A and B are shown apart, each in its own frame.
Chain A
């Protein structure tokens, strides 16, 4: 059974810092990994999708990497801003059937 964990559960940083969020999964036989952002009381917004043949994806100040063999992905946020405050979730496909989500990392960026 695929299981996804995220470390840390919560993170508080001052504005301007670079930070790394971690996602680990137990079964490396995945097709895709997707990072999402969720604001309080809102739905999920897709940030980055990494397909199994890729090692990283970049969008603006965000960079996500994927190491399938070790079952890990990281989301790097450069020059953090208060507007980045949200919960960040990663999800992996589950044996080609559906997606399994991690519990999320709650990020607070302090002005």
Chain B
């Protein structure tokens, strides 16, 4: 039982490049979330999903897109990376709004 895993762990992008972050969970959770964490800003919700095929915007969705084609996977895409998107990205999952489980994070630097 791996819990929540994130791929990749680290990435460096140049401005304008695109990439996809993958989150996978093996707990059969319905709810999945993408957060970013910046110094002094705490955790902010980017997008979330309440089930396969559904997505919704969080607090800071601009510049990001998501997809939930399979229940166990939640993908976060950056179409044209900007330096302001340099951050640590965390994925989490939960059964309904009960206890959240977090992945180890992806450290992204955009130069």
When distances are taken between beta carbons in the complex, the residues of chain B under 8 Å from A89 are: 42-43
B58 touches A98 (CB 8 A): yes
| B residues 35-55 in Cβ contact with A at 8 Å | 35, 40-45, 48
- Whether a CB of chain A sits under 8 angstroms from the CB of B62 is no
Q: Is the interface of A mostly helix, strand, loop or mixed?
A: strand
Q: Is the interface of B mostly helix, strand, loop or mixed?
A: strand
B103 touches A99 (CB 8 A): no
B97 touches A102 (CB 8 A): no
Chain A interface size band reads 20 to 34
The answer, among A51, A97, A102, for a CB contact under 8 Å with B42, is A102
When distances are taken between beta carbons in the complex, the residues of chain A under 8 Å from B42 are: 89, 101-104
When distances are taken between beta carbons in the complex, the residues of chain B under 8 Å from A100 are: 45
B99 touches A44 (CB 8 A): no
